[in-house]
Amino acid sequence: MVYASGIRLPCVPHLYKSSAPSGFNGDRRSTSLSFLLKKDSFSRKIFAGKSSKEFDASPLIITASEKVLVPGSQSDDPSAVTDQLETPETVSEDIEVRNGIESLQMEDNENVEIEDHGPVTLQGKVSSEKSEVKREVGPRSIPPPGAGQNIYEIDPNLLGHRQHLDYRYGRYKQMCEDIDKYEGGLAAFSRGYEKFGFIRSDTGITYREWAPGAKSASLIGDFNNWNPNADIMTQNEFGVWEIFLPNNADGSPPIPHGSRVKIHMDTPSGIKDSIPAWIKFSVQAPGEIPYNGIYYDPPEEEKYVFQHPQPKKPKSLRIYEAHVGMSSTEPIINTYANFRDDVLPRIKRLGYNAVQIMAVQEHSYYASFGYHVTNFFAPSSRCGTPDDLKSLIDKAHELGLLVLMDIVHSHASNNVLDGLNMFDGTDGHYFHSGSRGYHWMWDSRLFNYGSWEVLRFLLSNARWWLEEYKFDGFRFDGVTSMMYTHHGLQVAFTGNYSEYFGFATDVDAVVYLMLVNDMIHGLYPEAVSIGEDVSGMPTFCIPVQDGGVGFDYRLQMAIADKWIELLKKRDEDWKMGAIVHTMTNRRWLEKCVAYAESHDQALVGDKTIAFWLMDKDMYDFMALDRPSTPRIDRGIALHKMIRLVTMGLGGEAYLNFMGNEFGHPEWIDFPRGDQRLPNGQFVPGNNFSYDKCRRRFDLGDADYLRYRGMQEFDRAMQHLEEKYGFMTSEHQYVSRKDQGDRVIVFERGNLVFVFNFHWNSSYSDYRVGCLKPGKYKIVLDSDYPLFGGYKRLDHNAEYFSSEGWYDDRPHSFLVYAPSRTAVVYALADEEEQPLNV
């Protein structure tokens, strides 16, 4: 991920100036501010007024500097991985010890007895009159740690770093033993949301918060007129503050649904009011900058009830990366409801089987793309309510789409007022203290993964989204930053294994990743786990039981970097061997998500592939009733070829950022004002415009524009993979990468792919090798008129193979390969079933 440059906005220190009486009397309901929202129409006008407190103005940095991950994932040495996906090359040792165990044991059952206040009803459960569809999964249990030795059989190069890897696995096993001993197991430990935050029971509400640095604490909000002396909390020996609020006399809850709440603390840094760390919803009042925590517990009859079962995990994963807020064709912040009704059916029609949603966790700065999280358990209120998000996910499941969440556990917002930073007034609460706890490039805080309560918080956070919202898995952001103390900054990974397994490795962070993958796969066997790693860490996608980190997929980030590198050059300078090597340069038995471009390449300051190819010509020459230009013709042809070769060779899954399927013009530019950086540099804003913070789906749908052809090709490409499942086939063979002809030929599954990248040479009777004999037919042709091509191929033609070795293949057949085209051939008996697009 990449961030736009940061903005320093004026904020207020949340210092309470008491004007209320010292005690609180009367019905708590009398001062509440209702927050009841309709499911299908989300209003931004949430509050009638501001908080009753007064504020002193002072600046607070609430965003990040530019986030840049080191380009190039694995080694650029072609010997590291062959075109046929054989094994590559190879990381060393040590790091710290866990913090002392600070926890309270909790059983892993549905109704938890807490003190004497009655059973805790899990938030989100429905009343007996409603029937909620449950996830269809196997046994929900986390297997005990294995021997962790299979990694050495998978990759013998790891033997040279056995000391580090065995130490890492030993740390993981010890952590599992400690969690079993003190928490009753990982399944119970990962349900911290049933102990911390607001817990509703039949008799009232219990609120708990871990804040060991605080000297005193009280719960304040609309319900008690923000009186810090009304509801004083008590602290136990582990630094956990607690209070129980009994129901009102009429049985109603002591804190009304939709009212604002905060925790008031006397800390080493002074008096502060903070949004509870485990808050489930937070909103920004009109005219205010800091967010307010919201007690969200609607009546049973208003809670959304899931109606549709979660889809089974597909063998081939085709991911549509999306941002709900910018998914409208209009210059507005879109809603969960509109995304559900308008965008999900589009994703289904295009042939994708998963949607990956960005910016789900609440983030106070919109332009952070959701990566500066302030409230980890709260869905972004800009787009609607928690129930609106559940409705979106349920609709996706009805359509057969998996819903993956872009989850951020690599860092947190630097905000003090509405985030976790300095929560209890100390620098090292949830984060490392000092420079180790600060990411200088992102201007954000870095978690201490060796802290017991931080582990509880993050593990519970992952489970919360799977359990409460029924997400089908995660894309973990910024994993490279987590795994190394240098965070991948100013480091060029060459593939040498000592770069991965040494003193720069944050073993605590890697152990956390092993634990969270253990939890995900043990309790939710159908869930998907994807990690964003640019370093090429070995064992990344090997199961934890075998000694690996446990992800299902790695994002193949080097591919997008390679395309940007090539697009800065002339066609004549493209190397076929370099393209093939980048596509196939991945570790044996470790699956990758391939993509030509993601949201990173669409941000302001960068260019999408379409814009690199066609630039300003896109403004004037995309209408079909106007003559094209050589730049447009070249751009459309190469746009299709780049995407198909990436899907065909690049990995076992594929990802596309919304709008790029039709070559979305221009860039993404979030609304922002002018700013002056700390070094004095002036950065002009865009007058807080949303014009370039939207997706012009209407361009791809318009049959009078050339965008339509690129969209139809992408659609056909997805449906081709759905029919043949070539991305997950074990058979992949590159038979030709001819630099002179600019031709690449490879087999994936039972298909033969032929790419002619030459700018003006077409080849008649061009022989291509194949594994299986028989009659071949065209099943996908980038030059087809529907896709904006010139119809230089006859789709009724039949191609018969002949015996004899060619390009190390036992059979071959002759084709016509027009310039700048990609054509896919299949055996005729397999092609007989129509491709429904």
The pair of three-digit structure tokens given for residue 487, joined into one six-digit string: 């965070």
First and final C-alpha spacing in the chain: 32
**Alpha-helical runs (H) found in 617-661:** 630-649
Structural contact between residues 327 and 339, judged by C-beta atoms closer than 8 angstroms: yes
Q: Which of 532, 546, 600, 669 is catalytic?
A: 532
Q: Specify the pairing of strand 675-676 against strand 682-683.
A: antiparallel
Q: In whole angstroms, what is the distance from residue 543 CA to residue 513 CA?
A: 11
Residue with tokens 């499911």: 39
Which DSSP helix (H) or strand (E) runs through 701?
Answer: helix 697-701
Q: Could you tell me how far CA 396 lies from the centroid of its own chain?
A: 17
CA–CA distance, 651 with 641 (Å, rounded to integer): 16
Q: Is 503 helix (H, G, I), strand (E, B) or coil?
A: coil
Specify the 3-state DSSP secondary structure of 683. strand
Token pair, residue 363, equals 């983030």
Torsion of CA 449, 454, 458, 464, to 10 degrees: 160
Residue type, 17: K
Q: Say whether 552 is catalytic.
A: no
Q: What three-state secondary structure class fits 528?
A: strand
Picking from 224, 176, 194, 165, the residue whose alpha carbon sits closest to that of residue 21 is 224
Strand ranges inside 211-285, DSSP E: 216-221, 234-235, 240-246, 260-267, 270-274, 282-283
155 contacts: CB under 8 Å, gap ≥ 6: 87, 90, 538, 539, 587, 588
Tokens of 786: 């529907």
Q: How many helices (H) and strands (E) does the chain have?
A: 16, 36
Residue 517: Cβ within 10 Å count: 24
Residue that the structure tokens 């998000």 belong to: 389
Phi, psi of 438 (to 5 degrees): -130, 130
Of all helices (H) and strands (E), which one includes residue 68?
none
Strand pairing class (234-235; 240-246): antiparallel
Give the three-class secondary structure for 70.
Answer: coil
How far apart, in whole angstroms, are the C-alpha atoms of residue 659 and residue 661? 5
Task: Write out the two tokens for 157.
Answer: 């190069």
Percent of the chain as helix, strand, coil, to the nearest 5? 25, 20, 50
Q: Active site includes 321?
A: no
Select which of 477, 506, 783, 831 is catalytic.
Answer: 477
Q: Which two tokens stand for residue 702?
A: 């318009």
CA-nearest of 325, 383, 316, 397 to 355 is 397
Task: State the Cα–Cα distance between residues 837 and 835, nearest whole angstrom.
Answer: 6
DSSP 83: T
Buried b / exposed e over 325-363, threshold 16 CB at 10 Å, is bbbbeeeebbbbbbbbeebbebbbebbbbbbbbbbbbbb
Q: Calculate helix-pair angle for 630-649, 707-724, nearest 10 degrees.
A: 20
- Sort 69 into a burial class: Cβ within 10 Å, 0-12 / 13-18 / 19+: buried
- What pairs with residue 261 in β-bridges? 221, 293
Compute CA distances 20 → 209, 483, 666, whole Å. 24, 48, 53
Residues paired with residue 112 on neighbouring β-strands, in sequence order: 120
**Nearest one of 472, 454, 451, 477 to 399, comparing CA atoms:** 472
Active site residue ranges: 477, 532
